[in-house]
């Protein structure tokens, strides 16, 4: 089937620490992969995406690489800031179902000064 | 473009009342999605439309929930009668498919509280 699994939160880091949030997906078809971010009180917004194997998506210092061999799309950032505190969702597209996405359960990140 | 617009932003109602949530997708987008987000269940897809036609409503929790999309620029999600367990944030999202445009754009959400 189609599913996305993220590491459970909450994740608490100090400012300037290195961040990794793990995400794996089921290998049905050739999905596009996404990371969305939800800041408090807001809707989700696209952070980055990758559409094929070995692509790297990047934005605002965040990166994720589409790894087909490990069916993973881990989110990383070298130095987090307090303003990165949010909930992060990994998602995959579904072949032949238009714009529908399957989301992971979300990982809450809290960055302390 | 103003993005996806949802109204109201906050709704407080009493159990048994009818609630109607509204969504205006981004112009030109061909898919519209309704989601519900709670602490317990996370983000759930309730129903989605393609070119105003409902495609999959398997996520709608009960017959008390209904959704319509009478035209390309407007959709409603109705709960009748509402119950306290319907309290959640409801998001609408839209997308323009094709030509690599596969980003869902989310509205700011409607926070529903049923007393």
pLDDT tens digits along A67-107: 999 999 999 999 999 999 999 999 998 877 778 889 999 99
In the numeric block, which tokens belong to residue A73? 């799309």
pLDDT of A28 above 80 = no
A30: confidence class by pLDDT, cuts 50, 70, 90:
confident
Q: How far is CA B52 from each of CA A75, B5, B65, rounded to the nearest angstrom?
A: 35, 17, 18
pLDDT for res B74: 96
A8: confidence class by pLDDT, cuts 50, 70, 90:
confident
B1: confidence class by pLDDT, cuts 50, 70, 90:
low
Q: How far is CA B22 from each of CA A73, B1, B86, B93, rounded to the nearest angstrom?
A: 34, 18, 16, 12
Residues of chain A contacting residue B48, judged by C-beta atoms under 8 Å apart: 99-100
CB contact under 8 A, A99 and B106: no
Nearest-Cα distance to chain A for B80, in Å, is 25
Q: How far is CA A68 from each of CA A26, A36, A55, A65, A74, rounded to the nearest angstrom?
A: 10, 20, 10, 9, 12
Residues of chain B contacting residue A43, judged by C-beta atoms under 8 Å apart: 4, 91, 93, 106-109
A7: confidence class by pLDDT, cuts 50, 70, 90:
confident
pLDDT tens readout for residues B53-103: 999 999 998 899 999 999 999 999 999 999 999 999 999 999 988 766 678
CB contact under 8 A, B4 and A51: no
pLDDT for res B85: 95
Q: Which residue of A has its CA nearest to B101?
A: A99
Q: Residue B72, Cβ neighbours under 10 Å: how many?
A: 17
pLDDT of B37 above 90 = yes
pLDDT of A50 above 80 = yes
Q: Are strands A33-38 and A86-93 parallel, antiparallel or unpaired?
A: antiparallel
pLDDT for res A18: 97
pLDDT for res A56: 97
Mean of pLDDT over chain B: 93
Nearest-Cα distance to chain B for A62, in Å, is 17
DSSP lists the bridge partners of residue A91 as A34, A103
Mean pLDDT of B19-38: 95
pLDDT for res A100: 86
């Amino acid at each position: 089937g189609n599913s996305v699994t993220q590491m459970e939160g909450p994740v608490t880091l100090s400012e300037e620490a290195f961040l990794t949030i793990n995400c794996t997906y089921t290998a049905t078809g050739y999905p596009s992969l996404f990371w969305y971010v939800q800041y408090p009180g807001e809707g989700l917004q696209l952070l980055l995406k990758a559409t094929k194997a070995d692509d790297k998506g990047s934005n605002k210092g965040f990166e994720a690489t589409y790894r087909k061999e490990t069916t993973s799309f881990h989110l990383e950032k070298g130095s987090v800031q307090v303003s990165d505190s949010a909930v992060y969702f990994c998602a995959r597209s579904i072949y032949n179902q238009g714009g529908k996405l399957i989301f992971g359960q979300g990982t809450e990140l809290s960055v302390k000064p | 473009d103003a993005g996806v617009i949802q109204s109201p932003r906050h709704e407080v109602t009493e159990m048994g009342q009818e609630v109607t949530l509204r969504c205006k997708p981004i112009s030109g987008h061909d898919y519209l999605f309704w989601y519900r987000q709670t602490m317990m269940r996370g983000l759930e897809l309730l129903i989605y439309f393609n070119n105003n036609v409902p495609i999959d409503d398997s996520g709608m929790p009960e017959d008390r929930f209904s959704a319509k999309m009478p035209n390309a620029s407007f959709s409603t999600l109705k709960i009748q009668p509402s119950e306290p367990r319907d309290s959640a944030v409801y998001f609408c999202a839209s997308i323009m498919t094709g030509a690599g445009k596969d980003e869902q754009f989310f509205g700011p959400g409607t926070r529903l509280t049923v007393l």
